[in-house]
Amino acid sequence: MLGMAGTLATITAAMAGASIFVAIWLVLAWLLCVILIAIAAHGRGRSPLWWLCLAILLTPLIAALMLLLFAERPDLRVRRDARQGRGGLRLCPSCSEVVRSEARRCRFCLADLTRRAEPLPALIPDDRVEPRLQ
Ligand SMILES: [Zn+2]
């Protein structure tokens, strides 16, 4: 009887040790997921600290799903499209603000956006310059 109790105590102690080991691993995996979400949020132009707290409070899985839903800040996406000339947008060469690609004047800095299409006077070949009257 005493031997059986000793065996039970040994098994219980082993299970407690194993559960502590599993708990430590779960906490480490949780922290890793939380940090990965903060890094992913930073890469998408979001506040890493805010997403770190969100992942701690709401579990990393829910935070990851939310991060996928609000993947990229809309203003950053518009700016990226404008830089690549997509979505009917482009960046003003003078002030780097997003303007429509068909705009003729920047609405922010009032720069003339049609000048780039015209050749510079110094680049016009001589034969195309109007001959002077003699
Ligand atoms: Zn401008």
Over its length of 134 residues, how does the chain's per-residue pLDDT go in tens digits? 557 778 778 877 777 778 888 999 999 999 999 999 999 988 888 889 999 999 999 988 898 999 888 767 777 888 888 888 888 999 999 999 999 999 999 999 999 998 755 455 555 555 555 555 55
Expressed in angstroms and rounded, the spacing between residue 101 Cα and the centre of ligand 1 is 12
Expressed in angstroms and rounded, the spacing between residue 26 Cα and the centre of ligand 1 is 52
| Same structural domain, 6 and 57 | yes
Expressed in angstroms and rounded, the spacing between residue 127 Cα and the centre of ligand 1 is 35
pLDDT score, position 13: 77
Expressed in angstroms and rounded, the spacing between residue 42 Cα and the centre of ligand 1 is 28
| Same structural domain, 65 and 13 | yes
Please give the Cα distance from 50 to 55 (Å, whole number). Answer: 9
Please give the Cα distance from 119 to 13 (Å, whole number). Answer: 85
| Same structural domain, 9 and 68 | yes
- pTM of the model as a whole: 0.49
Residue 51 lies in a domain: yes
| Same structural domain, 29 and 80 | no
pLDDT score, position 85: 85
pLDDT score, position 102: 92
| Same structural domain, 62 and 14 | yes
Range of the domain at 105: 75-119
Structure tokens at 49: 């600290």
Q: How many domains does the chain have?
A: 2
Expressed in angstroms and rounded, the spacing between residue 88 Cα and the centre of ligand 1 is 16
Torsion of CA 23, 26, 32, 33, to 10 degrees: -150
| Same structural domain, 12 and 54 | yes
Residue 90 lies in a domain: yes
Expressed in angstroms and rounded, the spacing between residue 103 Cα and the centre of ligand 1 is 11
